[in-house]
Structure 1
């Protein structure tokens, strides 16, 4: 086979040839047609059946992709992963086919989308390259594909998302009938998308950038300090108590990576997973300093040092089946997952389902569960230790701040919202104005200290403001992925030496780089992500000699999250307040100050009044998770993976099933079961659990299956399961089976365990259940009839609530 070849006809033949032998098949196309999918269907199915790793990403640009094509793709084989790129009007034109097997690889890039004419007799040019031509380019292509495949703009294609896309597809073509096309069953008229000037992808860091590391001085002999001491104690305790996974939430600047390294000393082999190469390289250096007698290696698109004692792996490389299966499932004793809310949870889930470590540790700086829900779910909700930046400031572990909220009169409601960001061109029209720049400069000069980081929305805004500041006598530079005149390392050194007053940047300093001397932060961008905002605030809060506090200058406009983000500074956040409405002005630590323009306060109060009602927010969050899963989430899935707390559904509706009824999510038979048995569902949700015993007895009953679960049970019948459940996990035994009496029951004694069950869960629950349960003559009975046709549905709902309540009960809670 030729090393490089031009394929101008019958690309289909080449694709089928490669699919017949490849173990990795990645397809990336602007759009997909059902006729094109059908041509490849048999080859894809055969490859999937022999275990190939198959990922297909198609775009929704101009809604050319046919809904039928998406359904056809997901029907081929359950192991084929399909994702849809939501372009939100931004041009999306890639066409690439990547193949790899044990012998080598092959890469096709060109003009052919996934349609019959493009794969057969249409006028198309594609270039095929053998992997051996340039292995680095091939590795980069694989890595870039996965980054795009798991980008925030993509969604998994399943029955839910396909139906949603079909509605949007129909709506778009009704509004743009001139773009509609008639597609014949056997032959398609090819749609050549109009060429547009590609919009720059602002904020992307270059592949190769200077990495700035902290100096060794603050750590001295590398011993745990500050929050690390407490967190390490909690982690050690969790491991000793039998937990096999946990999460640590620590504010930026408190040393999460060093904490992980200290904890890793007790394990033989360690895998550290992250989504960015800068994080991997810095983590490797930190671990080498803490554990110098172990070997450390990188495993990413360029290096494959998988035999090291400590492996630092890119999730995008590791999630490829070929690389994942190069390790044994038990290859690592400890796996550490860093800040992975940036990447797709599903890729991590696949990796972590494969490995069988003794312990899984998730580390994140994000304080809000809505942002770190993915790592929260993978760690089973077990939070070993939690400290946000506000508490760290209160304890003197981070620098105090003086926050100045400057009113921004821009009307952001008139700027198009693209699902996760504002339309860049429309945003720039209001940002690139001299009067706006003058206002920003005036506020900065009034409040600034010595060294400033300015966070911008885009490269064009950063360049514009930096030039404006320079014209007014300030020493500034615009530093971003397109900057070639000066390196990041040089710019940071100049700022530290006070040869620069400010660095204007776009997302370069969110994570992975620290400049402790920075004492002023200027936000000239709308806060679209609370996660990113918190990371950027953390850039200024590191302790530094001579820095008594950090100034935060923030433009406050009517953009999304403007009112929510101020709660992050509130020392009373999370506390139950009896006031009808919380004040928009947060209560900050005593060492800090917060000042808001009067106009900004009025704006925030108006925004708070208009905030989405809780019922509608819960419904939106539920639907988002349902789309991710492609089906109705279980109660436990809602708790672990939902953006809102599952407890809110119970508070608002009485039970999760009652919410489903309200949301129109139940079938006619399910509605019938709900209306008949709502008191039982509410009872399970609300019954007090000072111990887990009630739900353990219920779980023992559920083990008997849909037709037998509701039959009477005696303490003696429940005893074997009851004892096994509470002793098989060390943490269950410690929490609920280790007081004076129950500790003597670690060795199974049916009579004594039966007496415990009779005296506690059975007697107590019957007394508090409003007649739904009775316990007489040593028999535990549900006092309501269940029709045969209702048995399975009620069994499943009872099981969901039982598993949810047990899981929540045993979750570790941070201090």
Structure 2
């Protein structure tokens, strides 16, 4: 197996960064782009010079997976140790003294467990790898890393057959108004329970049958109980499914993944257990039942079905309208080590084009489409209505001074509020105009909330 050109470019970028005096470096490359191979090649070169590598991961499933990749790639394992971060933290005195510390899913690097390892080995270089260098808090990574190496764009990887193309569908099954943020920035467990309490799990099965029937699917839900209900509903419909969660014992989790990979289980249902790093190339479908404000979580979960296989067409079924917050997985993102404003990814979080949901097939498509490319549904009547609305808006140009003051006051009030709390199209329109949103943003948001037809 040969390195791909973009993997070579990442490695050369890392070498140049170190040559320029950077000690701790973060490497960004999209989910499914082969970060494990890139890491293996770097580790192979280091261990060939009999220098030690300590590799820390955040889930037990990844230890064996990474170790297998490293052995196959020719890493000298006499100079390399791979541990879960919690295990490494407990046995710092017994670890090899590393010249290099590798961190998988490095967007977790600011956690106390990781920093304890870094502080214990202050001379070691820290090399972090992640698809999503971003945190919900908005805090940057300068505390740990000196430089950031940016990998290829997702759209480029799809175009060049390194990731599978996808079709994105969205049918909102939850009450978005019930969602409330916690101090961490993501939605609280209780609010997700409240938002999803009226979910008809048969609708989840119907969407799977209609859009992705008989394909291998991973379902991400918001709680253990909801996962169990989904798995039960699949099995009732004679579609083999299994629920696994953080409390599921190691052997059962291992068997569930084996059965999924071999096809004995068609649907694997979990609550965030298989979001990061898990390699399941033949998973074709992802079903999202977990609303989130985390761009990182959205990308990691939605792209879990996009590992490349010839002729594979991935299917993403978003049943909680996450796309209205982030756009689509392959929209371009601006990655940085610097601090961001809190919750920078809300309400789109990308520079991608405006999008909408087809009311006929539920496909998420470009807002400019007059006809759905998936099912042929015509939007001509809708476009005519929008044109009429715009003409009506243009006629309202003779506002007097009092009306202008009132509108300005309304804008200021709305700017202090979270757009998810808006209950009318007018509020969304005023907010969108005041914040420089793209044309059509308010309509698409209102559509997702059910405020317009």
Normalised by the shorter chain, which TM-score bucket?
0.5 to 0.7
Output the CA distance in 2 between the equivalents of 1:469 and 1:390.
33
Aligned with 1:378 (options 121, 125, 144): 144
Alignment RMSD (CA, Å)? 3.8
- Distance in 2 (CA, whole Å) between partners of 1:469 and 1:545 is 28
Conserved 8 A contact 1:369-1:376: no
Per-residue deviation, 1:402 = 0.5
1:517 aligned to which of 270, 282, 293:
282
Counterpart CA distance in 2 for 1:325 and 1:293 is: 22
Q: Indicate the SS of the match to 2:234.
A: helix
Q: 1:508 Cα deviation (Å)?
A: 2.1
2:338 is matched with which residue? none
How far apart are the structure 1 equivalents of 2:413 and 2:100? Answer: 42
The count of aligned residue pairs is 350
Q: 2:283 matched to 1:283?
A: no
Aligned equivalent of 1:463: 228
1:422-470 Cα offsets, whole Å, 9 max, x none, are 444553355354x622332222222115211111111111111222233
Matches within 5 A, 1:515-664: 515-547=280-312, 549-557=313-321, 563-566=324-327, 568-571=329-332, 584-585=354-355, 594-595=364-365
Q: CA deviation at 1:286?
A: 2.4
SS in 1 for 2:71: helix
- Contact 1:398 / 1:542 at 8 angstroms: preserved in 2? yes
When residues 595 and 471 of structure 1 are mapped into structure 2, their CA distance, relative to the original with a 3 A threshold, is: farther
Give 1:373 deviation, angstroms: 5.1
Contact 1:248-1:383 at 8 Å conserved across structures:
yes
Normalising by structure 1, report the TM-score.
0.38
Which of 84, 103, 109 is the aligned partner of 1:337? Answer: 103
User: Paired residue for 2:24?
Assistant: 245
Q: Deviations over 1:161-196 (max 9, x none)?
A: xxxxxxxxxxxxxxxxxxxxxxxxxxxxxxxxxxxx
1:308-336 deviations in whole A, cap 9, x for unaligned?
A: x212244334446xx545679xx322221
Q: Tell me, yes or no, if the aligned pair for 1:340 and 1:375 is still in contact at 8 Å.
A: no
> 5+ residue gaps in structure 1?
1-219, 296-308, 575-580, 587-592, 599-608, 618-815
Name the counterpart of 2:450: none
Which of residues 52, 56, 65 is equivalent to 1:269? 52
Q: Which residue of 1 is the match for residue 81 of structure 2?
A: 311
Distance in 1, Cα, partners of 2:169 & 2:25: 37
Measured against aligned partners, the alpha-carbon deviations of 1:706-759 in whole angstroms (never above 9, x if no partner) come to xxxxxxxxxxxxxxxxxxxxxxxxxxxxxxxxxxxxxxxxxxxxxxxxxxxxxx
Does the 8 Å contact 1:235/1:263 carry over to 2?
A: no
In 1, distance between residues paired with 2:284 and 2:249?
Answer: 26
Per the TM alignment, residue 379 of structure 1 is displaced from its structure 2 partner at its CA by 1.2
Deviation digits for residues 478-537 of structure 1, max 9, x if unmatched? 233455799334434444454443222222211242211111111112124222221112
Q: What is aligned with 1:440?
A: 204
Q: Give the Cα separation in 2 of the matches to 1:228 and 1:371.
A: 30
SS in 1 for 2:56: strand
Q: CA deviation at 1:237?
A: 2.3
CA distance in structure 2 between the partners assigned to 1:257 and 1:491 by the alignment: 23
Check whether the contact 1:274–1:337 (CA below 8 A) recurs between aligned residues: yes
Q: 1:348 aligns with which of 100, 114, 120?
A: 114
Counterpart-to-counterpart distance in 2, 1:536 and 1:585: 20
Q: CA deviation at 1:256?
A: 1.6
Q: 2:15 aligns with which of 236, 240, 253?
A: 236
Distance 1:545 1:491, change over 3 A: farther
Contact 1:244 1:359 in 2 (8 A): yes
- The CA deviation string for residues 785-811 of structure 1, in whole angstroms up to 9 with x for no partner, is xxxxxxxxxxxxxxxxxxxxxxxxxxx
Relative to structure 1, the CA distance from residue 230 to residue 502 in structure 2 (aligned partners, 3 Å threshold; closer, same or farther) is same
Cα 1:552–1:263 change in 2 (3 A) is same
**Greater relative CO, 1 or 2 (CA 8 Å, sep 6+):** 2
Against the structure 1 CA distance between its residues 357 and 280, is the aligned structure 2 distance closer, same or farther, given a 3 Å change threshold?
Answer: farther
